[in-house]
Amino acid sequence: MSEELKSSPHSEALHEGASELRRFARALVGPVSTRTADALAQTAIVRIEAADRLGEDPLERAFAEIVRLNRRRVRERGRATESAEISGESERREASVANQISVMPLDERESLLIIALAGYGYEAAARILDLPVSSVVSRLMRARARLDGARPGVAPRGGHLRVVK
Amino acid sequence: MSGASRVSEAELHAFVDGQLGDERALAVAVWLAESPRDGLRVDGWRMQNDAIQRAFPAPARERATLAFRAIDSDAPLTMPSTPAIEDYRARRRRRRTMALVAAFVAGAFAASALALFAHRMTTRPIPSDPIFVEVTTVSDEFARRAVEAWRTYARDPARPVEVDARDMAGLTKWLKERTGLAQPPTISGARLAGARVLPAHGGNAAFLLYRLASGDPVVLLAERGARSPGAYRSGDVSARAWSRESFDYAIAGAVPDARLAALAAELAGPR
């Protein structure tokens, strides 16, 4: 057998974060595409692992790669303005948060998930999503207003937000 | 409304996401204490965040393999060389063997510990301490939440609390408005660092972060209620819970059991 495969801190960080990356990818892609989501995460991990860049956070780059790969997947399938893929099961879970997120526009879903699920701050989220911070925040606000709209008795402040149906 | 400065929609979101500086976070906290409608919305977003965390559980931890099939819509990827894959697999096989050995040893140890525990439980009377039941593995919901809150916030280097204890008057007023807790309890030998408000089943819970003289963080969770006493442990973090004057309390920290018990006894004892 040949010599032991070298394991750098860069690779370790990616493997340690693999579960979080897959979780984010699954939420981003939607409920019926677990295999596709896992493949996205896997692809991102391998690509970032193969291209160590000094001074850059490999996990942050892997999140950005998942976002980029998913945008490309959606664009190539002609679903840029559509929601995530929805299963028949989702009809039975109509009120669930997961289902509400899965039918959000992709740009809002990305911002909401990178902050509320992956736990990144606004500046890191802007780097990952390749957007200005102001765009990330406005998309996050729209996403939360959309979820608020599904809760009885909660309405946004007048004039600040437009709830898109 | 009193003198609290107007807070923008974006700042409310930034407050929920821990993106404001100390000064502005305090201003928002004061605003929320005086603006119940915005307070409800902020609580709603916090609950959304919690619901999102619950809606997408983390998949089982597993290391990514080097050999994989690219997704259909993506460009072909360059596969790692065969020797690299073989090396990785060999290492993984060695790790699995070691993991099996470790699992066997851990299983034997756990069986011994269980036998010892069962023996002690059947031969020892229940302790007479009126406050606590000496069972560290009983899953108590409130104590478990204290452990989870400790894990989530206590070691956050950037923003462990929403409102700093340097403004004690503002902190006390805010906590009273939001949670009903009249006064953050004092703990001898510990300094209050600040507080958060966390969503709870029937209202809000106060999250109080203290730092011991050693620098170790301990968390006191308080919310209205009258549960039974209990304890919970997860890894190196443990918690003890009790009720006092229509409030439930749980103290959590990664400190020795005796130290945690002493802190809990001090808080639960006469004031």
CATH number of residue A126's parent domain: 1.10.10.10
Determine whether B178 is exposed, middle or buried from the number of CB atoms within 10 Å of its CB (0-12, 13-18, 19+).
buried
Looking at residues B157-185, what average pLDDT do you find? 89
**Mean pLDDT computed over B91-105:** 70
In the prediction, which pLDDT does B139 show?
Answer: 42
| Whether B188 contacts B266, CB under 8 Å | yes
CA dist list (Å): A34 to A68, B58, B234: 17, 12, 30
Strand partners, B192: B210
- pLDDT score recorded for residue B72: 42
Task: Flag whether pLDDT at B82 surpasses 60.
Answer: no
pLDDT level of residue A1 (50, 70, 90 thresholds): very low
pLDDT on residue A91: 43
The verdict on a CB contact (< 8 Å) between A43 and B59 is: no
pLDDT band at A161 (very low <50, low <70, confident <90, very high): very low
Rounded to an integer, what distance in angstroms lies between the CA atom of residue B195 and that of residue B47?
18
Provide the residue range defining the domain that includes A68. Answer: 7-81
Name the band, by pLDDT with cuts 50, 70 and 90, for residue A21.
Answer: very high
Same domain, A77 and A95: no
Give the gap in angstroms from C-alpha B34 to the nearest C-alpha of chain A: 16
A-contacting residues in B 53-92 (Cβ below 8 Å): 53-66, 68-71, 73-74, 77-78, 80, 83-84, 86-88, 90-91
State whether A97 and B48 contact (CB < 8 Å).
yes
Task: Kindly report the average pLDDT of chain A as a whole number.
Answer: 78
DSSP 8-state class, residue B127: P
Residue with tokens 């992956």: A118
Q: Is residue A117 part of a domain?
A: yes
Domain boundary among A51, A81, A111: A81
Which residue in chain A is spatially nearest to B41 when comparing CA positions? A154
- Positive or negative, the CA dihedral B158, B159, B163, B164 is negative
ipTM score: 0.80
Model-level pTM? 0.50
B211: pLDDT confidence band, cut at 50, 70 and 90? very high
Look at residue B133 and tell me whether its pLDDT is greater than 70. Answer: no
- Using the Cβ of B1 and the Cβ atoms of chain A, whether some distance falls under 8 Å is answered with no
- Give the full edge-to-edge strand order of the sheet including B217-224: B163-164, B190-199, B204-212, B217-224, B247-253, B237-244, B230-234
Which chain A residues are within 8 Å of B19, Cβ to Cβ?
A: 121-122
Confidence check: pLDDT of A90 > 50: no
Sign, Cα dihedral of B165, B169, B174, B177 = positive
Quick one: average pLDDT of A97-113?
93
Half-sphere exposure of B192 (CA within 13 A, CB side): 23
Give me the mean pLDDT over the A87-93 stretch.
43
Question: How does DSSP classify residue B250?
Answer: E
Residues A33 and A61 in one domain: yes
Position A157 confidence tier, pLDDT thresholds 50, 70, 90 = low
Grade residue A63 by pLDDT with cuts at 50, 70 and 90: very high
In chain B, DSSP assigns E strands to 163-164, 190-199, 204-212, 217-224, 230-234, 237-244, 247-253
What average pLDDT does this structure show over A33-48?
86
Residue A49's nearest CA partner among A5, A4, A95, A88 is: A5
A71 shares a domain with A29: yes
Last residue of a domain, one of A34, A58, A81: A81
Nearest chain B residue (CA) to A22: B59
Please list, in sequence order, all residues whose beta carbon lies within 8 angstroms of the beta carbon of residue B246, skipping any fewer than 6 positions away: B224, B225, B226
Both A136 and A68 in one domain: the answer is: no
Among candidate residues B63, B93, B147, the one with its CA nearest the CA of residue A21: B63
Maximum C-alpha span of chain B? 71
Q: What is the pLDDT of residue A78?
A: 66
Residue A137 lies in a domain: yes
**Chain B residue numbers touching A51 (CB-CB < 8 A):** none
Confidence of residue A10 (pLDDT cuts 50, 70, 90): confident
Strand partners, B210: B192, B218
Contacts of B52 in chain A (CB under 8 A): 27, 97, 101, 112-113, 116-117
Residue A2 within any structural domain of the chain: no
Residue B195 has pLDDT above 90, yes or no: yes
Total domains present in chain A:
2
Q: What is the C-alpha to C-alpha distance for residues B145 and A15, in angstroms, rounded to an integer?
A: 28
Same-domain pairing of A70 and A28: yes
The set of residues, in sequence order, having a beta carbon less than 8 Å from that of A121 and lying 6+ positions away, is: A115, B17, B18, B19
